[in-house]
Amino acid sequence: MTNDRDLAALLGETPPPTAAFRLGVLARAAARTRRREARRRAARRIAAFAAIGLAVPIAGALGATLANTQPLLIVLAALSAAALAALAALAGPRGAVRLVLGR
Protein backbone atom coordinates (compact mmCIF):
# COMPACT_ATOMS: atom_id res chain seq x y z
CA MET A 1 0.00 0.00 0.00
CA THR A 2 2.46 2.57 -1.20
CA ASN A 3 0.26 4.47 -3.59
CA ASP A 4 -3.36 5.21 -4.44
CA ARG A 5 -3.57 2.39 -6.97
CA ASP A 6 -2.70 -0.19 -4.32
CA LEU A 7 -5.37 1.27 -2.06
CA ALA A 8 -7.89 1.30 -4.89
CA ALA A 9 -7.14 -2.35 -5.60
CA LEU A 10 -8.56 -3.15 -2.17
CA LEU A 11 -11.92 -1.74 -3.23
CA GLY A 12 -11.89 -2.06 -6.98
CA GLU A 13 -12.39 1.68 -7.47
CA THR A 14 -10.42 4.28 -9.35
CA PRO A 15 -8.55 6.53 -6.95
CA PRO A 16 -9.41 10.19 -6.67
CA PRO A 17 -6.39 12.21 -5.55
CA THR A 18 -7.56 12.97 -2.01
CA ALA A 19 -6.48 12.05 1.46
CA ALA A 20 -10.11 11.31 2.34
CA PHE A 21 -10.06 8.47 -0.19
CA ARG A 22 -7.01 6.96 1.49
CA LEU A 23 -8.59 7.20 4.92
CA GLY A 24 -11.83 5.73 3.63
CA VAL A 25 -10.08 2.75 2.09
CA LEU A 26 -8.08 2.09 5.25
CA ALA A 27 -11.21 2.43 7.40
CA ARG A 28 -13.10 -0.05 5.21
CA ALA A 29 -10.20 -2.50 5.22
CA ALA A 30 -9.94 -2.26 9.02
CA ALA A 31 -13.69 -2.78 9.41
CA ARG A 32 -13.53 -5.81 7.12
CA THR A 33 -10.70 -7.26 9.23
CA ARG A 34 -12.64 -6.66 12.47
CA ARG A 35 -15.71 -8.39 11.02
CA ARG A 36 -13.61 -11.34 9.86
CA GLU A 37 -12.07 -11.74 13.33
CA ALA A 38 -15.50 -11.44 14.97
CA ARG A 39 -16.80 -14.23 12.73
CA ARG A 40 -13.85 -16.44 13.66
CA ARG A 41 -14.43 -15.85 17.38
CA ALA A 42 -18.13 -16.57 16.97
CA ALA A 43 -17.41 -19.78 15.07
CA ARG A 44 -15.05 -20.96 17.82
CA ARG A 45 -17.64 -20.24 20.50
CA ILE A 46 -20.37 -22.02 18.55
CA ALA A 47 -18.13 -25.04 18.04
CA ALA A 48 -17.17 -25.16 21.73
CA PHE A 49 -20.75 -24.92 22.97
CA ALA A 50 -21.95 -27.44 20.40
CA ALA A 51 -19.27 -29.89 21.56
CA ILE A 52 -20.32 -29.39 25.17
CA GLY A 53 -23.96 -29.79 24.22
CA LEU A 54 -23.24 -33.02 22.38
CA ALA A 55 -20.98 -34.47 25.09
CA VAL A 56 -23.74 -34.63 27.71
CA PRO A 57 -26.26 -36.69 25.68
CA ILE A 58 -23.52 -38.95 24.33
CA ALA A 59 -22.26 -39.63 27.85
CA GLY A 60 -25.83 -40.38 28.94
CA ALA A 61 -26.30 -42.76 26.03
CA LEU A 62 -23.11 -44.56 27.04
CA GLY A 63 -24.52 -45.15 30.51
CA ALA A 64 -22.73 -42.41 32.44
CA THR A 65 -24.69 -41.16 35.44
CA LEU A 66 -24.00 -38.30 37.81
CA ALA A 67 -22.82 -40.74 40.47
CA ASN A 68 -20.33 -42.28 38.05
CA THR A 69 -18.98 -39.03 36.69
CA GLN A 70 -18.97 -36.89 39.84
CA PRO A 71 -15.25 -37.42 40.63
CA LEU A 72 -14.35 -36.53 37.06
CA LEU A 73 -16.53 -33.40 37.17
CA ILE A 74 -14.88 -32.30 40.42
CA VAL A 75 -11.42 -32.70 38.88
CA LEU A 76 -12.51 -30.78 35.76
CA ALA A 77 -13.92 -27.97 37.91
CA ALA A 78 -10.68 -27.75 39.90
CA LEU A 79 -8.57 -27.69 36.73
CA SER A 80 -10.81 -25.01 35.21
CA ALA A 81 -10.51 -22.84 38.31
CA ALA A 82 -6.73 -23.27 38.31
CA ALA A 83 -6.55 -22.38 34.61
CA LEU A 84 -8.65 -19.27 35.16
CA ALA A 85 -6.45 -18.22 38.09
CA ALA A 86 -3.31 -18.78 35.99
CA LEU A 87 -4.71 -16.73 33.10
CA ALA A 88 -5.68 -13.94 35.48
CA ALA A 89 -2.20 -13.97 37.02
CA LEU A 90 -0.56 -13.83 33.60
CA ALA A 91 -2.82 -11.00 32.46
CA GLY A 92 -1.99 -8.79 35.43
CA PRO A 93 -4.39 -6.67 37.47
CA ARG A 94 -5.98 -4.75 34.59
CA GLY A 95 -5.95 -7.73 32.29
CA ALA A 96 -7.65 -9.88 34.94
CA VAL A 97 -10.57 -7.45 35.02
CA ARG A 98 -10.80 -7.64 31.22
CA LEU A 99 -10.57 -11.43 31.37
CA VAL A 100 -13.38 -11.73 33.91
CA LEU A 101 -15.64 -9.06 32.41
CA GLY A 102 -14.88 -10.00 28.80
CA ARG A 103 -13.93 -6.50 27.71
What's the pTM value of the predicted model, to 2 decimals?
Answer: 0.52
Show the CA angle centred on residue 83, arms to residues 79 and 84, nearest 5°. Answer: 120
CA 44 and chain centroid, separation: 6
Q: What is the pLDDT of residues 45-100, one digit of tens each?
A: 999 999 989 988 898 899 888 888 899 889 999 999 999 888 888 888 777 777 77
Please check whether residue 2 is in contact with residue 15, taking contact to mean a CB–CB distance below 8 angstroms. no
Q: Is the pLDDT confidence value at 1 over 60? A: no
Residue 34: what pLDDT?
92
CA distance 21 to 8: 9
Backbone CA torsion sign across 55, 57, 61, 63 = positive
Burial of 101 (0-12, 13-18, 19+ CB in 10 A): exposed
Q: What is the pLDDT of residues 11-56, one digit of tens each?
A: 666 666 678 877 887 888 899 999 999 999 999 999 999 998 998 8
